[in-house]
Structure 1
């Protein structure tokens, strides 16, 4: 099948988090399944064309008020053709997203440039897979241009990665983009007097996916629907949740070049060397206590404010050591950092994003916590389990779909799950994990082995996406 991926992010070229990793992993898996997969991405200011990239010059882009041009750089990697839209007026910034209405114009241009570039390159996909609000105009274009643009016959699949981010702009963006003003109504792009790009995509896409089955159900409720739950209930027949996978070549404790010692589910002894390395780097004493890690954006969504409130009590009552890696809410970062002085042998806060250190923490920790208020899928808990680091999570979204909580009576499960986000729930669940590590270490190691052997590769998920593509193609045709 001819599949076109369109995304504002794709690792390793441009990424801010899970979206870029998901797009990269799924695209690679589909190429391995012998599809003709091509991917469009903006050429941001921080992406530098390589000498072997071919440049398609002066491609016309038919915006609403004028015809503009762009260049398209073409590169091949792992059986995938990558196209980078080079338009310095829109993407010279060294940032994927910027503030203000200009951000809407950037991605409106990107969406139209993708369609017009396919026409210029004389390649027509059967399915266009669009990711998040930044690509939301593509399904709209495909419906409104259907009689006059060859690519508009393609089926569109739109994936919601995080419903909170919707792409809301003034109505003037419609004339800029060349979208008929007749689409400015409540069952298309209009929302509270503004243009909502994600809402338009939901109404116009052939099929809709989210990144976990649980999240697909949650976003149809008032609590998690971010004002669009009525749209998602209306479109429920075209909505499906598919779990993200992880790239098991990149995240592999047997071969990972970023960790100091390699290990397997059958031989966890070298994992201790990874823990020693973390303790040495951050001057933590070597004790029998478990090491708990956080690798996350430091923000309200992740529930880390509640964890920060509970952490002093855990540190007072246990010998637990905690290393937190991430950036975000400065006040919350400082709250964690303030614990370093009263608990110098137990806490470290590292305010940065460091891919190598993320790998080393996933490999070197015994436990990992992600107490999210909501979590569309989450990849960090999957990485942790791949490295035998047992997750402590709240039962929401993809966390509920991927982490099976320990049942002590029959010794099944490979994580520690709680339901309500409050102080007592986090305290008790972390203390439970601490007790199992200290008092039932054989059970703890059995859980590690089970977690490492769970299949969260892209193989199963990519097969599900194949089915969705065929479903969409058959309906569009």
Structure 2
């Protein structure tokens, strides 16, 4: 089977969030099973210069006034062909893939990702670039949502899978964009790509793809409800037979405390004492008091309402007044950033806040903290809680989406022992006081080194790899063909 994986970001080349991690790890796991895979990605600023030996395959006429060069290289660290869409006017810019440096969205994002969607579809048609054509195109989030539509428009026999990584980000644009994107007028309706008078990339993917997937079984159920459906719950219920929830995995080669190049000391489930040395080094790096017995809480996240970190800010004083420490890495809503920076000023030596994105520090926080806090109000899958499991940094999470699917809560049994399947702590309700109670439960077990070590080992033994998940995707692709 030949698979084209279409994405707007991919680790280690360009990353803003979990989509990049999935886009780097899932194709790698699928390639290892023998699938014939190529990946297509926009050539954002600097990518062609940093990739290994990119060579020009040729060009594609995408729209009447846009012809893009297509370069081929390989995904770093793999042999997977990576196709880069070179059109400097759209992609060679300062800032991120979606936002200009002042954080506002690029005003022509409809065209930028319309080109990505159309190029992916054109690669499924006979072209002068290569003989290779995909049997399946795996589209990811709204940025590739028009690809299934273009496949139908052009009469391609290639099948499509559309993966929802976060339904809250939809790619809705002014109706006039339908002309620039060469979308057929008769399809601008509720049984098409129209969504409340807008051109919707997400709606196109949900409506026209042959199969739908999302990143956890619980989230697949949640998005069919009014609370989590963001207006698409009716369509998703209509297509429920085509919707599959497959829990994400993580790249266990990149995220491995026994080999992680970003850590000062390595450790494993059989060598846990060295984790304390990593904590000591992190405390030193962040200017925290060198106290091995202080519960060190970690946060690596977008600082937003969705992530529930306003709840943590609300109760932080009660935790800090009782001797906890807190290490925060992330950026987001200015008011929330300011709340955490104020905490750092009020609790010197107890709170460290780093605003921005720092991949090496994210690894050290994941390894050097004791408890990872992730109280998201909704979370399609989440990867950080799995990094926490992998590193023996016990996650405290909300009971939603992939958090509920990947972290198994529990309480000590009558003999004071940790239940065999327990790997973390799950909040039953979304409010600050439930978070406080749940964190206190975790801190109480942390105080008992024997119980805590048992919990850490159980967490680290969980299978969070992509190998198992990749097999589920293989089966999904196979269902798209007769006899599959």
TM-score category by the smaller chain? over 0.9
Q: Secondary structure at the match of 2:396?
A: strand
Tell me by how many angstroms 1:117 deviates: 4.3
User: Where do 1:69-148 residues align within 5 Å?
Assistant: 69-77=67-75, 78-94=78-94, 95-98=96-99, 99=105, 101-117=107-123, 119-120=127-128, 121-146=130-155
Q: Secondary structure at the match of 2:212?
A: strand
Which deviates further from its counterpart, 429-438 or 166-175? 166-175
Query: Is the contact between residue 98 and residue 106 of structure 2 (CA under 8 Å) also seen in structure 1?
Result: no
* 1:325 and 2:333 are equivalent in the alignment: no
Aligned pairs, number: 466
* 1:203 and 2:207 are equivalent in the alignment: yes
Q: Secondary structure at the match of 2:331?
A: coil
Please point out which of 270, 273, 277 is paired with 1:269: 273
In the aligned structure 1, how far is the partner of 2:482 from the partner of 2:468? 22
Structure 2 gaps of 5+ residues are 100-104
Please point out which of 279, 285, 290 is paired with 2:283: 279
- Runs of 4+ more than 6 Å apart: none
Q: Secondary structure at the match of 1:156?
A: strand
Q: Secondary structure at the match of 2:219?
A: helix
Q: Secondary structure at the match of 1:265?
A: coil
Tell me by how many angstroms 1:51 deviates: 6.0
User: Where do 1:10-409 residues align within 5 Å?
Assistant: 10-49=10-49, 50=51, 52-57=53-58, 59-63=59-63, 66-77=64-75, 78-94=78-94, 95-98=96-99, 99=105, 101-117=107-123, 119-120=127-128, 121-146=130-155, 152-287=156-291, 288-316=293-321, 318-409=322-413
In the aligned structure 2, how far is the partner of 1:140 from the partner of 1:473? 19
Query: Is the contact between residue 101 and residue 169 of structure 1 (CA under 8 Å) also seen in structure 2?
Result: no
In the aligned structure 1, how far is the partner of 2:237 from the partner of 2:191? 13
Please point out which of 463, 472, 477 is paired with 1:464: 472
Q: Secondary structure at the match of 1:341?
A: helix
Tell me by how many angstroms 1:341 deviates: 2.9
In the aligned structure 1, how far is the partner of 2:432 from the partner of 2:65? 57
Partner of 1:423: 432
Give the structure-1-normalised TM-score.
Answer: 0.95
Which deviates further from its counterpart, 78-87 or 40-49? 40-49
In the aligned structure 2, how far is the partner of 1:37 from the partner of 1:60? 20
Please point out which of 445, 449, 453 is paired with 1:436: 445
Query: Is the contact between residue 136 and residue 158 of structure 2 (CA under 8 Å) also seen in structure 1?
Result: yes
In the aligned structure 2, how far is the partner of 1:334 from the partner of 1:261? 33
Give the structure-2-normalised TM-score.
Answer: 0.94
Tell me by how many angstroms 1:197 deviates: 1.1
Partner of 1:411: 418
Query: Is the contact between residue 254 and residue 260 of structure 2 (CA under 8 Å) also seen in structure 1?
Result: yes
In the aligned structure 2, how far is the partner of 1:345 from the partner of 1:167? 43
Structure 1 residues 128 and 300, CA gap change in structure 2 (3 angstroms): same
Partner of 2:102: none
Query: Is the contact between residue 61 and residue 112 of structure 1 (CA under 8 Å) also seen in structure 2?
Result: no
Tell me by how many angstroms 1:177 deviates: 1.8
* 1:4 and 2:29 are equivalent in the alignment: no
In the aligned structure 2, how far is the partner of 1:114 from the partner of 1:155? 12
In the aligned structure 2, how far is the partner of 1:401 from the partner of 1:435? 24
Query: Is the contact between residue 154 and residue 473 of structure 1 (CA under 8 Å) also seen in structure 2?
Result: no
Q: Secondary structure at the match of 1:14?
A: coil
In the aligned structure 1, how far is the partner of 2:296 from the partner of 2:33? 39
In the aligned structure 1, how far is the partner of 2:406 from the partner of 2:60? 45
Q: Deviation digits for residues 315-356 of structure 1, max 9, x if unmatched? A: 12x111111111111211111111123322321111121100
